[in-house]
Amino acid sequence: MPLASYQTSVPVVVDDVKCIADKGCTVCVDVCPLDVLRISDMTGKAYMAYDECWYCMPCEADCPTGAVTVNIPYLLR
Amino acid sequence: MALDQIVDGLSEVSCDVLVIGGGTAGPMAALKAKLKNPKANVVLLEKANVKRSGAISMGMDGLNNAVIPGYATPEQYTKEITIANDGIVDQKAVYKYAQNCYSIIEELDSFGIRFLKNENGDYAVKKVHHIGTYVLPMPNGETVKKALYRQLRRARILISNRYMATRLLKSGDGRIAGAISVNTRTAEILVIKAKAVILCMGAAGRLGLPTSGYMFGTYENAANSGDGYAMAYHAGAALANLECYQINPLIKDYNGPACAYVAGPFGAFTANNEGSRFIECDYWSGQMMLEFYNELLSGKGPVFLQLKHLHPDTISEIENTLHKVERPTRGLFQQGRGVDYRNESIEMHISEIGFCSGHSASGVFVDDNARTTVPGLYAAGDMASVPHNYMLGAFTNGAVAGIDAMEFADNHDFAEFDAADVASERDRVLAPTRREDGIPPNQVEYKTRRLVNDYLQPPKVTRKYELGMRRLAEMRQDMQEHMIARNAHELLRALEVQSIMDCADMAVHASLYREESRWGLYHWRTDFPEKDNENWFCHTLLSKQNGKMTSEKRAVEPYVVPISDDEKDLYDRQRIRASA
């Protein structure tokens, strides 16, 4: 059966200016318990690829440059 | 390369002791096993990353069940936990925990984890339970995982992150032989031969659907999808008292507690909409949850955690703990809602259902050596049946499991498994990747968990359970025939849904088997509303026998610490009676 994707605002926001994933950093991707972060092929920066967040904070707490912000998902804000 | 592209591959490794799950119990089990025999190989397999996995990913505010000389005795603690669980407790394991946990506290202290002390240098233990005093705050509780990780590196434990174990392997004579796992980013299969296996895979936290509708907004770390329960079941191990659900009082819409364990000792309390207390004690028990539930429905709800009456400095101290550890986004959530604890109470609600011995009494059945009913297979932490474990129980029983498992491994050679078992498991795991067309895992999961909410949430009604069972069977068929996974990450979710479905089936089966009500809200059956000690003062053990889900009674072991008649119902008297 045909599939469609639907829009969702994701809770984890990465500041591309501060993110150093293009220099080889993978800290946020490594620590995420739900494995929802990836490095973009296009920008070389980290981003939230899957909307499956537990809003637990390791990505924000462990980011060496303070580039990651965890927001409360809209559905429960 | 496309995101999470599926790679075809199968490899095999071997080790002496395999620990599955690197949250709380797992690291301690691995460490103790390795220290017992430094020459042996210990592998710690983790679905996420050991650095930040499990229930204490962001640390913990304190120990909720510390039995500290001078404040409590193992006898008192064993008695309290027995009463809190309506008597259905094999005390030997609880008593052993109570005896051992102080040495684990000292060991954690040596790892650099600090515990609150008073001006005399004594541990500043707080009272939250109904009877005894067991709560010990951890001033640098956010550093727990880091401290553990350092110890694992120092001991040279082999850590394999991002591997999800899917099934256990056994020999023809029923002994454990290893496990099959899948890489969550490539879908490559890894077979691990082991002489002993310890399951430390956490709660079944993705069973019910949170009322926010956000699938991953669960109380438990959402990675805890009940894989350990499913694996133990399919390996033929017995699971105890699964009808004793976990249901917790949480901040409404947010997936963390308010939290009375932190704020209670400072003078905060649970209140109804009239600002009155209605429960005697904020310690999480089924009986307390039943009163909480009744109050919500009585017209006197909502229920709140009240702390605005406290001194602003005290509130700041509480806030500092609540917004820093365990669930630090708690502060962000309250900020978004415009809630300031100084002038507003915290609205609370009850969580979705799950399995978790951390706060209830269900789990893979283990004895006081953390042994399951399968030789060479161990379990510890939230998924093992020692009741009201909490974090310290996971550490302490994880240590017990690690030592006993290494002893087992030292005395046994590898058991032989059938290669056909690996082949058939590989087919099962990869089946969703081989379909061209079908239903994505998130939809199978959402629908399954919505059915869990609709039909399985207490109060448990037999007719609803029968309907739920029928609908779940239809869902299982959809899952087996139509679920698709288009990349390795989606495959991870597809495998998790299968664990969730197994846990839902077990929840139904166990709940229908016990024809009485017990443990307050956790197992409240409207068709059997009374506690029936004559017929049901026993454990129930669920297992797979000849391919079929089966339940049986098992007698409660004779008590080590006797409970007198006037003590045994203390937890049934949670509601505050109107004063004359």
Nearest to B385 by CA among B168, B85, B55: B85
Q: How far is CA B347 from the centre of its chain?
A: 25
In angstroms, the CA B229 to CA A11 distance is: 30
CA atoms lying within 13 Å on the CB side of residue B565:
0
Whether residue B53 lies within 8 A of chain A, CB to CB, comes out as yes
Contact assignment for A35 to B489 by CB distance below 8 Å: yes
Tokens of B213: 């509708």
Output the pLDDT for position B457: 98
Output the pLDDT for position A5: 86
Residue B534, class by beta-carbon neighbours within 10 Å (0-12 exposed, 13-18 middle, 19+ buried)? exposed
Tokens of B473: 């069977």
Contacts of B440 in chain A (CB under 8 A): 3
Of A57, A61, A73, the CB nearest to B214: A73
DSSP of A18-65, one letter per residue? T--GGGT--HHHHH-TT--EEE-TTTSSEEE-SS------HHHHH-TT
Contact assignment for A3 to B217 by CB distance below 8 Å: no
Tokens of B198: 């310890």
Tokens of B262: 């932190």
Distance of CA B165 to CAs B189, B201, B402, B452, Å?
10, 10, 19, 24
Q: Which residue has the tokens 């949850």?
A: B289
- Helix or strand or coil: residue B237? coil
Q: How far is CA B447 from the centre of its chain?
A: 23
Of A31, A38, A77, the CB nearest to B52: A31
Backbone angles phi, psi at B157, to 5 degrees: -75, 140
Contact assignment for B336 to A77 by CB distance below 8 Å: yes
Contact assignment for A56 to B438 by CB distance below 8 Å: no
Q: How far is CA B58 from the centre of its chain?
A: 16
Of A50, A52, A58, the CB nearest to B52: A58
Output the pLDDT for position B580: 42
Pairing of strands B158-160, B42-45: parallel
Is B207 within 8 Å of B245 (Cβ atoms)?
no
Contact assignment for A52 to B58 by CB distance below 8 Å: no
In angstroms, the CA B359 to CA B245 distance is: 9
Nearest to A74 by CA among B334, B333, B443: B333
**CA distance, residue A50 to nearest chain B CA (Å):** 9
Q: What ipTM does the predicted assembly reach? A: 0.98
Whether residue A49 lies within 8 A of chain B, CB to CB, comes out as yes
In angstroms, the CA A45 to CA A39 distance is: 5
Rounded to 5°, the CA angle B47-B52-B54 comes to 60
Pairing of strands B136-137, B62-63: antiparallel
- Going from the first residue of chain B to its last (580 residues), give the mean pLDDT of each consecutive group of 10, the final group possibly shorter: 88 98 98 98 98 96 94 96 96 98 97 94 91 93 95 97 98 97 98 98 98 94 98 98 97 93 93 94 94 95 95 94 91 94 94 96 97 98 97 98 98 98 98 96 98 98 98 98 97 98 98 98 98 98 98 98 91 74
Calculate Rg over the CA atoms of chain A.
13
Segments of B200-288 assigned E as strands: 239-240, 249-251, 269-271
Does the predicted model carry a pTM greater than 0.90? yes
Output the pLDDT for position B119: 92
Tokens of A58: 């390791």
Contact assignment for B52 to A62 by CB distance below 8 Å: yes
Output the pLDDT for position B577: 75
In angstroms, the CA B260 to CA B284 distance is: 10
Is B355 within 8 Å of B522 (Cβ atoms)?
no
- Helix or strand or coil: residue B514? coil
**CA distance, residue B185 to nearest chain A CA (Å):** 9
Backbone angles phi, psi at B500, to 5 degrees: -60, -45
Output the pLDDT for position B1: 53
DSSP of B370-428, one letter per residue? -B-SSTTEEE-GGGBSSTT-HHHHHHHHHHHHHHHHHHHHHH--PPPB-HHHHHHHHHH
Of B51, B221, B493, the CB nearest to A31: B51
Nearest to B28 by CA among B362, B306, B415, B370: B370
Tokens of B64: 């909720």
